Chains A and B, each alone.
Chain A
Amino acid sequence: MSETTETTKRTKNVRWVEPPKIGFMEALYLPAIAQGISTTVKHLLAGKSMTRQYPEVEPEIPPNYRGVHRLNRDEKGRVKCVACFLCQTACPANCITIEATGTSKDDPNWNDRDKYPASFVIDELRCIYCGMCEEACPVDAIELTSIYDLTGMTREQMIFDKEKLLSVYDETVGSGNDPVRTKRGVLSPASEKAPESAGAPLPPGRGQLGG
């Protein structure tokens, strides 16, 4: 029953077209060859090269390109990541490994934060560059940059730790090719204190009427 309906549907959607008959001149193929050669010669004489001169000339990469990851820094220069493990949870390729640690209240550098990653490792070879990690991140700490030409001599070189990922941030920040995601602006409350002054922009979920 279902097969018949499917066949009917298929035949109904098919439009039969008769192939055009070839005349004598067309059967010679010579006019077509001449036409083709003339196009080639026209491009040859125009003097305009279509070849990309890579790597001498690097292409312009759109800012929403998903390349090598970076770990952003907060306003004090510390890693912005709060070790919530959401990127690791979202990652379909299981390429992120995080170890979290608590901060010490006696440490003046960290006493305004509760938790940060002691280690943050991304296996760049295993990553499929889907961008789910940056979508999952509640504090915009992990982002995919437009660095596309990632190479390494060994597999170990392609496993990026926290320092390496922070150095990617240092290299790319303010380079004019920051990921567009950074410009989302306000961060969620986990990474920043609530604004004290009335004029400051309010983070989402705080003082904004939803809907």
Chain B
Amino acid sequence: MGTVFVNDVEIECGPQDNLILAARKAGVEIPHYCWHPDLSVVASCRMCLVEVGEKKPDGTVVMQPRLIPGCQTLAKPGTVIRTDSDKVKASQAQTLEYLLLNHPLDCSICDQAGECYLQDYTFKFGNAHSRLQEPKVQREDKYHIGEQIALFTDRCVMCTRCVRFTREISGTSELHVISRGSVEEIEVFPDQPCNNKLAGNVVDLCPVGALCSKDFLYKKRVWWLKSQDSVCNLCSTGCSVHVDQNENKLYRLRPRENDQAQGSFMCDEGRFGWKYIHRDARLLAPRLGRLSHAPASANEHAHAANGNGNGHAPTALSAALPVDMPTDLATLDPWPAALEATRTAIVQAMGKDGHKFVAIFSPMMTIEEAYMLAKFLRSGSVKPTLALGPVPVIGEDDRYPKNHRGEAPALEATKFTIAAEKCPNRRGVEMVLKHFQGELISFDKVLERVERGDVTGAYVVGGYTYPETGYDQQAMTALSKLPTLIVQDLLRSPLTEAATILLASSSFAEREGTFINQAGLAQLIRAAIRPLGECRADGRLLFELAGRKGVFNSAAIRREMATEIFSLSALGSGELGPLGTFITKQPQPATV
């Protein structure tokens, strides 16, 4: 703690703040390439050189004669930082001129253009021209760096952020620097490309256009992307992300810095795991009635659903139309009829005591959705059974940085975790179910009852998106035989084909609601795109199914839940903030 002076502005800074962070608190930008808050300091780019001095107790200021790298210097009480003197400005312009010496200036074909720190800093601190008379050094692009990574060698400024990332965060050490001086390059060892599960982060870390994502390469200019803050739904770590879209189409996910959740990074499974949203297997409209040509065995059906030219695989549109609905009505909104039919079917199937009706919740649901469905089903005098669907767990938690043998680090040294639990909200849905039923009924028990013939109707929520998770073949075969099967899902499967009522729901990018991750952090997902086709965001679907009046608003539902469910009372204000809210009080991290 202490007072520092940034361009004569007096501010308080933290004990571990370097000059860049201290200046940032005063609203002054110190340009930097190599420094990143989560990586070690190398002070190699020389972009953050500033004038540093000290204010003596008698009020005199003594400045050091040479420029000091701001990233490497901790701010002490009485530190004086000057970033606007002629000396500093000249240094910044010269550094940029050096960095751009062999830069090809191919902004027009560079994917980074628009979010490039070379562009931004040149505009703010640099010169508009180069004094180089000799031809520029031209170097080969490297597409072999990784499955998802391309290196445009001549755009690199050798900040080595990527190299330090693979050494310090992923621990896999694939990237390194070869040669010296003006022929320095980033490289991998022969036949050992950078394909670790966190590799995509080096693209975000690269402050220039040297490392590009092959997946996103040339797909869209970044200035057209509109970004929405959301949360990745592929594991229970719940990484904060930016969802970048344009014209209702997703283009990429980027990690959003959130120290409460995951830090500054995200894994490649999440980064590239959103492709199902625009896949052909998406269900695009509700449907009434079981598909008549549904093949008997789930195995055969899975083949048909994969669409390998198996003639009778229904197209999205024909599968979308209710079977008993005249075609001319298909252009109308199919939802009122579908929801009315769902309500009738539920009442009929529940019968007198509701014992023969089960609702299977999915850990992919938000807590608002789980709450609205549970409340709707348990509000009457008849109480059906509520159960939690399969919780996909693949392997063990994958913790980083790995050591040189590829072993996971000690728990307290972990910098990033890919959770084994491949769903975002098991904890939240369990809380809702416990509140409404007192106990948690596992999916296995329900499945046993279904197979015994003890159940006649089910409301099944899917939404599983991770490959090979969700309902397995045994479960699908058993559920498919039920006389009443209401399925709320987004991807086509034998289960959705067998549904007597199919409610086409939405992916995490089209919904609004709250996920509670494994650490108990409640974070908001926001709708980045509108639901595709005729499918409907789950929140709105369940809001209307429950016959609630008005428009679905997740904050209002959260306030309602907080008054009703004690374990969720931390969400009482309805607002979660950009970084989320812990549902239980967290021990404060000890201040260093």
Contacts and interface: CB of A to CB of B under 8 A. Distances in A.
A and B bound?
yes
Given A105-B143, A115-B218, A194-B135, A205 B109 contact: no
B105 A210 contact: no
Interface in A132-147: 138-139
Interface in B87-143: 104-109, 113, 127-136, 138, 141, 143
A195 interface: yes
Contacts of A71: none
A102 interface: yes
Interface string A169-181: 0000000000000
A139 B106 CA distance: 11
B223 interface: yes
Contacts of A190: 105-109
B258 to A, nearest CB: 32
Contacts of B25: none
For the complex of A and B, list the 5 residue pairs with the smallest distance between their C-beta atoms, beginning with the closest: A210-B129, A84-B108, A115-B109, A190-B108, A100-B218
A61 interface: no
B130 A205 contact: yes
A102 B110 CA distance: 11
Contacts, number: 65
Nearest to B221: A85
A203 to B, nearest CB: 9
Given A89-B223, A102-B217, A194-B138, A210 B108 contact: no
A139 B223 contact: no
B218 A208 contact: no
B133 A207 contact: yes
A189 B104 contact: yes
A210 B218 contact: no
A194 B102 CA distance: 11
Contacts of B223: 89
Given A189-B104, A206-B136, A209-B131, 6 more contacts: A189-B105, A190-B106, A205-B105, A207-B134, A210-B129, A211-B129
Nearest to A114: B109
A208 B105 CA distance: 14
A147 to B, nearest CB: 27
Q: Which of B107, B108, B135, B138 has the most CB of A within 10 A?
A: B108
| Binding site secondary structure of chain A | loop
Contacts of A100: 218-219
B136 A86 contact: no
A83 interface: yes
Nearest to B218: A100
A114 B140 CA distance: 11
Contacts of B129: 205, 208-211
Nearest to A100: B218
A157 interface: no
27 contacts: A82-B109, A83-B109, A84-B113, A84-B221, A89-B224, A100-B219, A105-B141, A105-B143, A115-B218, A138-B107, A138-B108, A188-B105, A189-B104, A189-B106, A190-B106, A205-B129, A206-B130, A206-B132, A206-B136, A207-B130, A207-B131, A207-B132, A208-B129, A209-B129, A209-B131, A210-B127, A210-B129
A196 interface: yes
A114 B141 contact: yes
A101 interface: yes
B132 A84 contact: no
Contacts of B132: 206-207
Q: Which of B106, B128, B223 has the most CB of A within 10 A?
A: B106
Contacts of A138: 107-108
Interface string B185-229: 000000000000000000000000000000001110101100000
A181 B127 CA distance: 27
Interface in A91-144: 100-102, 105, 114-115, 138-139
Interface string B230-269: 0000000000000000000000000000000000000000
Contacts of A189: 104-106
Contacts of B136: 194, 206
Nearest to B133: A207
A85 to B, nearest CB: 5
Contacts of B109: 82-84, 114-115, 190
Contacts of A193: 138
A115 B221 CA distance: 13
Nearest to B214: A102
A210 B132 CA distance: 12
B141 A196 contact: no
A83 to B, nearest CB: 7
Contacts of B135: 194-196
Contacts of B218: 83, 100-102, 115
Contacts of B106: 114, 189-190
Contacts of A89: 221, 223-224
A202 B218 CA distance: 28
A211 to B, nearest CB: 7
Nearest to A116: B109
Nearest to A138: B108
Contacts of A83: 109, 218
A138 B106 CA distance: 10
Contacts of A101: 218
A190 B138 CA distance: 13
A78 to B, nearest CB: 14
B223 to A, nearest CB: 7
Given A205-B129, A206-B136, A210-B128, A82 B141 contact: no
Nearest to B217: A102
Given A89-B223, A194-B135, A206-B130, A82 B108 contact: yes
A86 B131 contact: no
Contacts of A84: 107-109, 113, 221
Interface in A150-189: 188-189
A194 B136 CA distance: 7
Nearest to A141: B108
A205 to B, nearest CB: 6
A39 B218 CA distance: 68
B130 A86 contact: no
Contacts of B113: 84
Nearest to B111: A115
Nearest to A85: B221
A152 B130 CA distance: 48
Contacts of B143: 105
Nearest to B135: A194
Nearest to B129: A210
A100 B219 CA distance: 7
Interface in B130-173: 130-136, 138, 141, 143
A190 B209 CA distance: 14
B131 to A, nearest CB: 7
A112 to B, nearest CB: 11
Nearest to A205: B105
Nearest to A191: B108
A9 B128 CA distance: 46
